[in-house]
Amino acid sequence: MAPTSCYVRAMTELPREGRSHDAILSDLASLRDDDAKWRDGKVMSLVYDGGEAHQDLLKRAYSLYFSENGLNPMAFKSLRRMETDVVKISLALFHAREGAVGTMTSGGTESILLAVKAARDRAKKSGFFTGTPEIVVPKSIHVAFDKAAHYFGLKIRHVPLADDFRVDVRELSRMVNRNTVLVAASAPQYPHGVVDPIEEIAAITRARGVPFHVDACIGGFVLPWIERLGERVPKWDFRVDGVTSISADLHKYGYAAKGASVVVYRDMTYMKHQFFVATDWPGGIYASPSMPGTRPGGAIAAAWAALQGLGEAGYLDLTKKTLSAKKKLIEGIDAIPGLSVLGAPNSTIVSYASIDPTLDIYAVADVLEDRGWHVDRQQRPNCIHCTLMAKHDGVIERYLEDVRGAVAEVRSDPTRKSRGNAAMYGMMAKVPFRGMVRKGVEKVMESMYGPDGTLDLAAASKEGPVMEKLKEYAPAAFDLWDAVKARIARR
């Protein structure tokens, strides 16, 4: 398919006169022609679809509060009421006790940033902490923790994983020290869909007096329903003594509109360090519970509507269909010679890899993309990642048929392993100087968000001594932009 820019002219300056609304809407429809086709079930990430009627409810709820601003709860008391409801419903799902508190945020990254910031400031205000603050996290935890450490001046210590892809608790215990202001783990972690040993970690943090955050951004609004349906789920929430905060995304398995998450705390002694207050600004006293100033009312209203619209029955139904898709996928993948599911996923995420050295899993991913599937690749180990939803229960057999076909195609054509994204991702996983790859990616990002805002970044990704050095180690390095573009598109 031709690039979108061929049939919608780039808009580099304001039109002299406002364009017709019909023309604008027509262009918007055309601009997404090359986007991932999530409505047909061929995307196993990025979009969480509760069905057409539910999508319509979210749009209408969002539109009702399109202009309202949650920055001032005194002006828009309805938004504060809805946020309170959403937080209390979340706390009930997470088995919180009286005194638990929280706020809505714009997404999982903001929830994580706030939890890290609160832990850092809590330690500093204790009067007993003078060192460089550190956080201790599994190597599989979401990179938002690395972002938080980068933004807030903390040292991050990554704990290796055990053979089952859960964090190595013994190593974690060894890394916790007097400078540790927060320990975090996942329920589940994104790469392999397994829940870290939360109870074992909590025993360590309780003994050391260190706050413990559970990142349930992807699991917070589905693990409770999986458990209700009789599946075994390790305890991960406030039932575990020692868990002090939790992040969970409503715009994932809460099936809310994008821009909705919660960060919740066991009590206010932790959460109060999240707030920002300035009293000397000429504009007046400024107080903010979270990071943004303006807080879009539409996202809050749509989250409230999602919870009300689905209810327990709706969430159970969606989760039941999702688990059915998961079971079919695991059984189907394990039945294909040369492929194997990684770990024992106890959520709604399944990742699978090649156990045949002659079968390149990235080449399999290339063929799946040729057949119309949006494929998420991962590394260490190289694998294909699937985040499952109810919609996939109806397409999983077709997906497995294409996986079988892709494996057969790769086996019949050995040259597949040196083409396209497969070779690039392999290169990025194995190149001995990963810093060079980082610099190459940074070069692309600078071009994307630079003053020219160019859409054709191939040239930018190929230029410079960094790219030349990469070519020394991987002949396919001149295709760096293809891999970078795919990774950026999945974020």
pLDDT in tens, 156-168: 999 999 999 999 9
With a pLDDT cut of 90, the percent of the chain lying above it is 62
Domain membership of residue 33 (yes or no) is no
pLDDT in tens, 455-479: 444 444 444 444 454 444 444 444 5
Higher pLDDT, 485 or 279: 279
The label of the residue with tokens 């030349």 reads: 468
Binned at pLDDT 50, 70 and 90, residue 30 comes out as confident
pLDDT in tens, 380-409: 899 999 999 999 999 999 999 999 999 999
Give yes or no: residues 225 and 328 share one domain: no
Most distant pair of Cα atoms in the chain: their distance: 71
Of 267, 288, 306, the one marking the end of a domain is: 306
Domain membership of residue 85 (yes or no) is yes
Residue 430: predicted pLDDT: 47
Please state, in angstroms and rounded to a whole number, the distance separating the CA atoms of residues 252 and 389. 10
Residue 14: predicted pLDDT: 86
DSSP annotation of 376: E
Domain membership of residue 29 (yes or no) is no
Give yes or no: residues 352 and 377 share one domain: yes
Decide if pLDDT at 480 tops 60: no
Residue 417: predicted pLDDT: 62
Cα distances (angstroms) measured from residue 160 to each of 137, 170, 233: 9, 10, 23
Decide if pLDDT at 69 tops 80: no
Torsion 297-299-304-305 (CA) sign: positive
The label of the residue with tokens 């790219």 reads: 467
Please state, in angstroms and rounded to a whole number, the distance separating the CA atoms of residues 353 and 287. 49
Decide if pLDDT at 362 tops 90: yes
Angle between helical axes of 297-334 and 396-412 (0-180°, round to 10):
60
Higher pLDDT, 460 or 152: 152
Residue among 195, 173, 177, 175 nearest 185 (CA): 195
Kindly provide the b/e burial profile for residues 184-204, where b requires at least 16 CB atoms within 10 angstroms of the residue's own CB: bbbbbbbbbbbbbbbbbbbbb
Domain membership of residue 408 (yes or no) is yes
Residue among 219, 248, 217 nearest 231 (CA): 219
User: Which CATH number fits the domain that encloses residue 288?
Assistant: 3.40.640.10
Residue 478: predicted pLDDT: 43
Task: List strands edge to edge, sheet with 155-159.
Answer: 101-105, 261-265, 245-249, 212-215, 180-186, 134-138, 155-159
Do 185 and 138 touch, CB atoms closer than 8 A?
yes
Please report, in angstroms and rounded to a whole number, the separation of the first and last CA atoms in the chain: 23
Domain membership of residue 8 (yes or no) is no
Domain membership of residue 268 (yes or no) is yes
Q: Where are the beta strands (DSSP E) in 260-313?
A: 261-265, 276-278, 286-288
Residue 383: predicted pLDDT: 94
Give yes or no: residues 143 and 288 share one domain: yes
- 190: three-class secondary structure by DSSP: coil
Give yes or no: residues 243 and 257 share one domain: yes
CB under 8 Å to 382, separation ≥6 — which residues? Answer: 353, 354, 361, 362, 425, 426, 429
Residue 318: predicted pLDDT: 97
Residue 426: predicted pLDDT: 43
Domain membership of residue 1 (yes or no) is no
Give yes or no: residues 207 and 239 share one domain: yes
CB under 8 Å to 109, separation ≥6 — which residues? Answer: 142, 144, 147
Give yes or no: residues 178 and 246 share one domain: yes
DSSP annotation of 86: H
Give yes or no: residues 238 and 91 share one domain: yes
DSSP annotation of 43: B
The whole domain housing 142 covers 64-306
Give yes or no: residues 104 and 136 share one domain: yes
Residue 115: predicted pLDDT: 98
pLDDT in tens, 239-288: 999 999 999 999 999 999 999 999 999 999 999 999 988 888 898 878 88
Decide if pLDDT at 96 tops 70: yes
Of 250, 280, 306, the one marking the end of a domain is: 306
Kindly report the pTM of this predicted structure.
0.83
Give yes or no: residues 344 and 413 share one domain: yes
DSSP annotation of 213: E
Domain membership of residue 5 (yes or no) is no
Please state, in angstroms and rounded to a whole number, the distance separating the CA atoms of residues 344 and 181. 31
Find which of 40-44, 144-148, 370-374, 484-488 is predicted with most confidence, using mean pLDDT: 144-148
Give yes or no: residues 405 and 427 share one domain: no
Over its C-alpha atoms, the chain yields an Rg (Å, rounded) of 23
The label of the residue with tokens 């783990």 reads: 185
For residue 405, the Cα-to-chain-centroid distance in whole angstroms is 30
CB under 8 Å to 360, separation ≥6 — which residues? Answer: 354, 410, 416, 417, 422, 426
Give yes or no: residues 148 and 75 share one domain: yes
Number of domains forming the structure of the chain: 3
User: Which CATH number fits the domain that encloses residue 392?
Assistant: 3.90.1150.10
Give yes or no: residues 302 and 414 share one domain: no
Cα distances (angstroms) measured from residue 323 to each of 103, 110, 318, 334, 374: 30, 29, 9, 17, 21
Of 419, 454, 470, the one marking the end of a domain is: 419
DSSP annotation of 273: G
Residue among 288, 264, 258 nearest 71 (CA): 288
The label of the residue with tokens 């938080």 reads: 148
Q: State the SS3 of 416-447.
A: HHHCHHHHHHHHHHHCCCHHHHHHHHHHHHHH
